[in-house]
Structure 1
Amino acid sequence: MHKIKELYSREEAKKIKESFWTSFGMFMSPIPNADGEKVTWVNYKTGIRYLFFRMEATNKIAQIGIEIANPDEGIRALIFEQFKEFKAVLEAELEEEWIWDELSYDENGKATARIYTEIKGASVFKREDWPELISFFKPRIIALDSFWSSAQYGFDLFK
């Protein structure tokens, strides 16, 4: 991250990231969700508090995944276990295996559980990398949505 700080001020870096996510959102906006409804892909709503489908892009890495951020360690573990029950369905929908991390920490140091995948080498700060980033995020967020369309009912008790 030090290189970016040298190249871009915090404000410039923020604007570039916002520009990427706005572009991605516009690119994805015509695509309905698995239920045929309009969806905000960038800020995907799971309907479960503390459960997020996150996409992140930096100067070195891009990640997409499921983040379980419930502050209650027991509930967080139960939700993670519930995802394990759906692992075969999730991976069939994604057509790839993801990393399962039962204890992770977000950028604020809060404990989370994550199920994710990543690519290295593509930078959100290089416009020429944006097609690669979009090609990475698009099929995976659509697959997560398709998975969630049927699996979400197995998580109703966490609403």
Structure 2
Amino acid sequence: MYSKQEAAQLKKEFWTIFGQYMTPVLSAEGERLSWVNYKTGEKNIFFRLHADNKKAVIAIELTHNGAGIQQLYFEQFLQLKKLLEDAVGEEWIWQLHTMDDCGKTISRIYTELQSVSIFTREDWPKLISFFKPRIVALDEFWSNVKYAFEAMR
């Protein structure tokens, strides 16, 4: 078991290593970007990477205030589901109006890898192999569809 400080240090170290590993990878539009803290350019639409002591998750999270507007954006993603699945090469889990860790209502489209721990250095190659192709695929997907969301502003 790790102390809070040790756990925070391991997480920081993993995300730093992952960020360094991803630095040479250019976006679909040929630009350098922060893969760990991916910016969609759209308020309340986030690409999240998360790892803890049990699993890793990559997600599209919609954090709009108001169930109606959040549902509207979720439905727009549903219209693009085939494009997303083609980009990532797999089916993801779709959740309309679920709770995040802070108790806020969000909508989430995600996939996860079970039985890995960010606190086990031996799992880091599995985590990187899980995150890298999916965040790159999300970027490719987003570069093709973001204009549909700009029109919704």
Report the TM-score, using the length of structure 1 for normalisation: 0.94
Q: Partner of 1:82 in structure 2?
A: 76
Q: Which one-letter code corresponds to 2:129 in the other structure?
A: S
Report percent identity of matched pairs. Answer: 52
Moved more, 68-77 or 26-35: 68-77
Moved more, 10-19 or 106-115: 10-19
RMSD: 0.8
Q: Secondary structure at the match of 1:40?
A: coil
Q: Partner of 1:118 in structure 2?
A: 112
Alignment of 1:1-159 (within 5 A): 7-159=1-153
Gaps of 5+ in 2: none
Q: Which one-letter code corresponds to 1:111 in the other structure?
A: T
- Cα distance, 1:157 vs. partner? 3.1
Whether the 8 Å contact between 2:92 and 2:109 is mirrored in structure 1 is yes
- Cα distance, 1:71 vs. partner? 1.6
- Cα distance, 1:111 vs. partner? 0.4
Q: Displaced runs of 4+ in structure 1, greater than 3 A?
A: none
Q: Secondary structure at the match of 2:150?
A: helix
Structure 2 CA distance for aligned equivalents of residues 44 and 52 of structure 1: 8
- Cα distance, 1:8 vs. partner? 1.3
Q: Secondary structure at the match of 2:75?
A: helix
Q: Which one-letter code corresponds to 1:140 in the other structure?
A: R
Report the TM-score, using the length of structure 2 for normalisation: 0.97
Q: Secondary structure at the match of 2:65?
A: coil
Q: Which one-letter code corresponds to 1:126 in the other structure?
A: T
Number of residue pairs matched? 153
Gaps of 5+ in 1: 1-6
Structure 2 CA distance for aligned equivalents of residues 39 and 29 of structure 1: 8
Structure 1 CA distance for aligned equivalents of residues 11 and 65 of structure 2: 28
